[in-house]
Chains A and B, each alone.
Chain A
Amino acid sequence: QVQLQQWGAGLLKPSETLSLTCAVYVGSFSGYYWSWIRQPPGKGLEWIGEINHSGSTNYNPSLKSRVTISVDTSKNQFSLKLSSVTAADTAVYYCARVNYDSSGYVSWWFDPWGQGTLVTVSS
């Protein structure tokens, strides 16, 4: 069963760059897109972006200017960098696999998810 384990710095100062990595254990890495999603404290979920094993990316337009998602296929890992962070970027960040089914009823869904990493931006 696929498992995602993520890690990265949990406390940043304003203007610094957030950096998180997610490792995929068991199962196929290629053939999927891999996403980052965040959730500010007490608020809802926000999709940040995705990448596939070839390095093709899609980003949330609201974050695109500050986000870079990269992939390391040799380690079955993908990473998130978010530059120039502010207090508004304080959130729990999750990685997740994007699943896609086009057999009849086209659908996408996120499963499984990583355990989440709380990133706090504070001076």
Chain B
Amino acid sequence: SSELTQDPAVSVALGQTVRITCQGDSLRSHSASWYQQKPGQAPVLVIYGKNNRPSGIPDRFSGSSSGNTASLTITGAQAEDEADYYCNSRDSSGNSNYVFGTGTKVTVL
């Protein structure tokens, strides 16, 4: 099955910009979605499709994709953005499965 690789951890100064990447062969043919997860809570969708935000998600969150890499960018990070972030995509192995990224812990300094 496919794998999606993310950096384990990144840090960003308050108000600065951070980009989280997700790499995997499945991203060449399938879109990525992104989820924010805070401790003890269920994941929350932050980006889906080409670059769509669900209602209630601040516009400082944006998504992009190129080749085998999808990215989530937080422009002007806030303290409340400190969380784990996971990418997700359809599996490209020919079956109708899904795969999640390994997750990135974002620390806001």
Contacts and interface: CB of A to CB of B under 8 A. Distances in A.
A62 B31 CA distance: 23
Given A44-B86, A44-B102, A45-B86, A109 B45 contact: yes
Contacts of B1: 61-62
Contact of B103 (A44, A58, A59, A106): A44
Contacts, number: 67
- Interface of chain A: mostly helix, strand, loop or mixed: strand
B49 A115 contact: no
Interface residues of B, number: 25
Contacts of B86: 44-45
A80 B44 CA distance: 21
A46 interface: yes
A61 B101 CA distance: 17
B100 A47 contact: yes
B98 A108 contact: yes
14 contacts: A44-B101, A44-B103, A45-B88, A47-B88, A47-B98, A94-B43, A105-B31, A105-B50, A106-B31, A108-B98, A109-B88, A110-B88, A111-B48, A114-B42
